[in-house]
Amino acid sequence: MNYLKRNFLEYIKPLSWKETFGFWRENEANRTNWIKAYKNRGFNSWDDWRQTYAKQLGCEKLRWNLYKLVDPAEHIPSFYGGPYRTWVERFYGGKRIRKFSEIIELAEIQNHKEINSIANNFPKETVIIGLVVKKEIVVIEGMHRCCAIALISKNKKEIESNVFIALAEHPKNNLPVIGRVVKD
């Protein structure tokens, strides 16, 4: 994979989709706002809800690997936010994806309570999930943490955390816009 030639990814190990989805679950499943979100959409569990997103992106068919990001504050701002309908409508100016360095220039993001809270108390270790699309990294899980890291970088602050990324190369040149899935 072409992105491996970049010096900011330190290979750790291969992952199954089940392991990768486990990172996603660990980051979201027990948070009140996500529980409310899946219940409001008619799903019985966080897994059922988020698997609909993963299926739209074809995640279960991809080959996943875990990497440690070397100097995440330098590199994450150049990653792209995932193609989530709400983000596209509110923060991307209608684009399908947008760089975190651009997203954090928006006043709404700079003043976002959760993003600022994360930036002020970043976890000592975290795993985000991304897809390589046309040689660029698109984050599909960890949007708020990546915005927080981009803000930390913008404000010239240090981040003393181990940031890992579960990453797979996506075979398509464009990802579909996903989100607001409601169970029938």
CA distance 98 to 101: 8
Q: Is the dihedral of CA 2, 58, 95, 24 positive or negative?
A: negative
Q: Is 50 exceeded by the pLDDT of residue 88?
A: yes
Lowest-confidence pick of 19-23, 37-41, 97-101, 137-141: 37-41
- Closest among 119, 115, 161, 128 to 26, alpha carbons compared: 128
pLDDT, tens digit, 9 for 90 and up, residues 3-14? 555 688 999 999
Q: Is 70 exceeded by the pLDDT of residue 182?
A: no
CA distance 28 to 46: 8
pLDDT, tens digit, 9 for 90 and up, residues 15-71? 999 999 999 999 988 888 888 888 888 888 999 999 999 999 999 999 999 999 999
- Closest among 54, 57, 76 to 128, alpha carbons compared: 76
159 backbone φψ class: left, alpha, beta (φ>0; ψ -120 to 50)? beta
Q: Is 60 exceeded by the pLDDT of residue 127?
A: yes
pLDDT of residue 1: 44
Phi, psi of 167 (to 5 degrees): -135, 140
CA distance 89 to 119: 24
